[in-house]
């Protein structure tokens, strides 16, 4: 096998010989074809991806800024919840039971198991569950430790059933 320098020298010699054998009109056409292929390759490899990135940058930046604002809002909410003083166990249980009856309805059941409270739900909307969780976190200082829910309907509004285990943060 020949070294690379010899191969490129042979290639260069063959290219020059072929070029000199071409008629002036053919040289112009080959140069023009080479220019078109080179410009196309430059467009596909360098320019098109860069232009696409520049076009999408404002929308991407806006979406990322919205996500950052949401994360900051969640962080602020978490800090405010952390700063709340813990409530007495009896008060926490009372808050959980009352908010469960009000928000989740008669198909829900509260069971106390030591420092955990298990809430069983049937035919509850996601919105009602979300509102209930917020109320339980703020008023009873209880945090969900385990959630086992399954969707019971395929049509809107979706209904859920299962159980949610809450950990009490009591004094």
Give tens-digit pLDDT for 7-59: 888 888 998 999 899 899 999 999 999 999 999 999 999 999 999 999 999 99
Which homologous superfamily is 89-168 in?
A: Ribosomal protein S6/Translation elongation factor EF1B (3.30.70.60)
Query: For residues 156 and 122, which has the higher predicted lDDT (pLDDT)?
Result: 122
Could you check whether the bond before residue 11 is cis, i.e. omega within 30 degrees of 0? Answer: no
Question: Where exactly are the structural domains of the chain?
Answer: 4-82, 89-168
Q: What is the pLDDT of residues 57-107, one digit of tens each?
A: 999 999 999 999 999 998 998 788 777 777 888 888 999 999 999 888 888
8 A C-beta contact, residue 80 and residue 134: no
Q: Look at phi and psi of residue 92 and say left if phi exceeds 0, alpha if psi is from -120 to 50, else beta.
A: alpha
Tell the burial category of 82 from Cβ atoms under 10 Å away from its Cβ (0-12, 13-18, 19+): exposed
In sequence order, what DSSP letters do the residues of 72-102 get, joined into one string? Answer: HHHHHHHHHHHHSPPB-HHHHHHHHHHHIII
- pTM value is 0.54
18-25 long-range contacts (CB < 8 A, ≥24 apart) are: none
């Amino acid at each position: 096998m020949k070294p690379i320098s010899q191969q490129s020298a042979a290639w260069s010699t063959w290219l020059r010989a072929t070029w000199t054998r071409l008629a002036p009109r053919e040289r112009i056409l080959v140069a023009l074809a080479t220019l078109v292929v080179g410009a196309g390759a430059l467009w596909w490899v360098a320019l098109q991806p860069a232009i696409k990135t520049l076009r999408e940058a404002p929308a991407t930046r806006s979406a990322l800024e919205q996500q950052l604002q949401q994360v900051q809002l969640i962080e602020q909410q978490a800090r405010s919840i952390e700063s709340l003083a813990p409530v007495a166990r009896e008060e926490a249980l009372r808050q959980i039971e009352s908010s469960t009856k009000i928000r989740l309805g008669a198909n829900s059941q509260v069971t106390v198991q030591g420092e955990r409270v298990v809430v069983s739900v049937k035919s509850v909307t996601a919105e009602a569950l979300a509102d209930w969780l917020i109320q339980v976190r703020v008023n009873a200082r209880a945090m969900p430790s385990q959630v086992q829910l399954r969707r019971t309907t395929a049509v809107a509004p979706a209904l859920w059933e299962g159980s949610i285990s809450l950990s009490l943060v009591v004094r």
